[in-house]
Amino acid sequence: MKKTNRFTVAITGMNALPENPAPGISVASCLRKSFGNKVRIVGLGYDAFDVGLYAEDLCDAAYLLPYPRFGSEALFLRLLDIKKEERIDALIPCLDSELSGIIGMSDRLLGIGIHTFLPTADQLMRCHKDRLPELASKINLHYPEVKALFSPDFFNFCHFEGWTYPLIVKGPFYDARKVFSSSEATEAFNDMVKDWGYPILVQRFIQGEECNFSAIGDGQGGMIGGVTIKKVALTSKNKACVGVTIADEAVFDYAQNMVKELQWKGPFELELMCDSGGNYHLIEINPRFPAWISISEKAGQNLPARLIEMILGLEQRSVFDSPVTGTYFIRYSSEQMVTLNQLEQMIAHGTSVVDTKE
């Protein structure tokens, strides 16, 4: 096992918009609770107003990255600069939009000492939203029909093709809205195109109870851990703001089948809908930890901490028993106080360091 007094982990996705928070803050919280000051956490964001960058109880340092649209080479060079300052040992990417680029540079990152634990490019493509019907059929899951759209005109005549409202409109990376009319659907389409580009997806709505599941694939068909939540209350972006851990063997089995089929490597979230007949429908597979992952620590399976133990060859300090059921999370908004100097430093130099390195 690797022996070290302190190690450094960089985490992306540090924004915390109330309607649609990114996972980075929850991941950082899990690491801090598990490792305490043994871990130096470097928050990585794309906007100077990403609130997690200034959470001094979580991040020891914070840096801005170039947006994914500037390409993977710009991102690699920025990480190389940060590595010179921070001696990063591991990187946990938490945003869908950046994963493809980071996977493509994973060998180069390892060459400069930054370890990752990520799926292959092919594995990532197979769980993309427009490829899910094929995957669902292989693991014996129902899947609501989906169409890729480049124009909102479909919403005006969709009933002629047997599509009835409500429908779910989704962006290529983020955002999902339940719409009840062509005007609502067109508005959602146009908003998502502005934010994420094409194609926009439309999916048949399934009435039922949504269950989400998160675990880690070991890259050889095995699954590590596994926490299931039921969404109790949703935001307008269809994100859970209240959830509770449950035990559901069917969800666990479907996740195992998915991991085995893909030989998945890395964290993931499985979104399923159980209809009134007890049938499960695959809604999405997200190739990273979810924003609710902090509940895994309370439920007895600190998945982000286990991921770091695996990446860095650290001693695995706990055996994962079945997660504790009946554990709730309730998401709330909080204000992060930031000084003018901190904000100026982030905007002008793309960095904010709040402690000294050891």
pLDDT the model gives residue 357 = 46
- The tokens for 126 are 């197979």
pTM over 0.85, yes/no: yes
- The tokens for 142 are 């129902």
Q: Which residue has the tokens 């409500």?
A: 166
pLDDT the model gives residue 264 = 97
pLDDT the model gives residue 19 = 74
The full DSSP string for 40-93 is EEEEEESSTT-GGGG-TTT-SEEEE---GGG-HHHHHHHHHHHHHHH---EEE-
β-pairing, 61-64 vs 351-353, is: antiparallel
pLDDT the model gives residue 226 = 96
Structural domains in the chain, sorted by start: 7-117+334-353 (3.40.50.20), 124-128+207-330 (3.30.470.20), 146-204 (3.30.1490)
Q: Which residue has the tokens 């479907």?
A: 254
All residues at 6 or more sequence positions from 270 whose CB lies less than 8 Å from its CB, including other chains: 212, 213, 214, 251, 254, 255, 258, 282, 284, 285
pLDDT the model gives residue 103 = 97
pLDDT the model gives residue 358 = 45
pLDDT the model gives residue 240 = 76
pLDDT the model gives residue 346 = 87
Task: Report how far residue 194's alpha carbon sits from residue 208's, in angstroms, rounded to the nearest whole number.
Answer: 30
Q: What is the CA radius of gyration of the chain?
A: 20
pLDDT tens-digit profile of 38-69? 999 999 999 999 999 998 899 999 999 998 88
Residues of the chain with pLDDT under 70: 1-4, 236-238, 353-358
pLDDT tens-digit profile of 129-180? 878 889 999 998 998 988 999 999 999 999 999 999 999 999 887 788 899 9
